[in-house]
Amino acid sequence: HLFADPVAVVLGFERVVGNRLAVAGGRLSGELIGTITDSSVKKAALEEEIAQLGNGAISLAMGDGANDIPMLLAADYSIAYYGKPKAKEAADGWIDNGDLTAVLKLFGIPQNDWVTG
């Protein structure tokens, strides 16, 4: 995960789930490394994390397409981020303007608590 792994380290995340993009000659090759992270994998990963956290855990899922719908529906709260119409329909809400800091603002996290790179 060229982007997600470094971000996960900074944020202290223990797990990253997603497709791994192959690089050849310093450029993305258009190939994937390993198995495809499809809708069932995304939903299963969310459910595993919820089970691991135990009773009282509250989950949030974010996605943009039809392949995210099972995960969006399985979460306590869901956001379609620049989502396609079907993802927006499945989600509790959506973000179509700005960047991911909108999620931090939504949860009332003060800007001085944000981790920046």
Please name which of 68, 77, 90, 92 lies closest in space to residue 17, comparing C-alpha atoms: 68
Tell me whether residue 21 is exposed, middle or buried, using C-beta atoms within 10 angstroms of its C-beta: 0 to 12, 13 to 18, 19 or more.
middle
Give all domains of the chain, ordered by start, each with its CATH number.
Answer: 1-37 (no CATH), 39-117 (3.40.50.1000)
Q: What is the pLDDT of residues 4-35, one digit of tens each?
A: 888 888 878 888 998 999 999 999 999 999 99
How far apart CA 104 and CA 99 sit, in angstroms, is 10
Q: What is the pTM (predicted TM-score) of this model?
A: 0.82
Answer yes or no: are the C-beta atoms of 103 and 114 closer than 8 Å. no
DSSP single-letter state for residue 111:
G
Q: What is the pLDDT of residues 65-105, one digit of tens each?
A: 999 999 999 999 999 999 999 999 999 999 999 998 998 89
Q: What is the pLDDT of residues 45-73, one digit of tens each?
A: 999 999 999 989 999 999 999 999 999 99
Answer yes or no: are the C-beta atoms of 74 and 61 closer than 8 Å. yes
Give the model's pLDDT for residue 114.
Answer: 87
Band of residue 117 on the pLDDT scale cut at 50, 70, 90: low
How far apart CA 20 and CA 36 sit, in angstroms, is 8
| For residues 39-44, average pLDDT | 97
